[in-house]
Chain A
Amino acid sequence: EVKLVESGGGLVKPGGSLKLSCAASGFTFSSYAMSWVRQTPEKRLEWVASISSGGSTYYPDSVKGRFTISRDNARNILYLQMSSLRSEDTAMYYCARASTTTGRDFDYWGQGTTLTVSS
């Protein structure tokens, strides 16, 4: 059974940093691209970062230079290091696996971890 379990969320002051983790199990982690997707309080879904199986990373402009995605294939863990946090980063953060089917959908999602950026 595929499982993705996020952790590390919390309350952070603007300008602060935080690192999220996603523990993966039930599949060959190193073979899959992985992503972080967030859901804002307004329920909007936003793609945050992706890392390929080979380690290439991708970000939208909204987080580029502030967020870093990485993976530890030996421990089956996905990370998201976030810095220079802003109030607009407040969201539920989901870890998601990119499927290998045509068109790159997300075929498994974790339960999410909440980040609140507030003074």
Chain B
Amino acid sequence: QIVLSQSPAILSASPGEKVTMTCRASSSVSYMHWYQQKPGSSPKPWIYATSNLASGVPARFSGSGSGTSYSLTISRVEAEDAATYYCQQWSSNPHMYTFGGGTKLEIK
């Protein structure tokens, strides 16, 4: 079973800063997906298949990675980006979905 580890657990940034959060898999995976969740709301699809922005996601977000290491980068953080970001992968054998523990982004 693949385990996803996200770091850091909490990320504090000032508006305009560039930030990167990481998701590491215990074994190589083909793709990584990311979700944004704000308090009181369900997770929103944010980045799919490693580097594709979901509908409505600002272009300041980007995703990259391969193998066991994936990342989500915000080129210039804005106040509205404050949220928890979760990574997720799917494996076919066995059929299983796995989520990371999340990175909470706080804006100073």
Contact = CB atoms under 8 A, between A and B. Distances in A.
Contacts of B22: none
A87 interface: no
Contacts of B35: 106
A118 to B, nearest CB: 22
A99 interface: yes
A60 B90 CA distance: 12
B48 A101 contact: yes
A101 B51 CA distance: 13
- Number of contact residues on B: which range applies? 20 to 34
B42 A105 contact: no
A45 B45 contact: no
Contacts of B32: 103
B20 interface: no
B96 A58 contact: yes
Nearest to B33: A105
A47 B97 contact: yes
A37 B52 CA distance: 22
A101 B44 CA distance: 16
Contacts of A47: 96-99
Contacts of A107: 45, 48, 54
Given A44-B101, A109-B42, A112-B42, A102 B95 contact: no
A111 interface: yes
Interface of B: 30-33, 35, 42-45, 48-50, 52, 54, 84, 86, 88-90, 94-99, 101-102
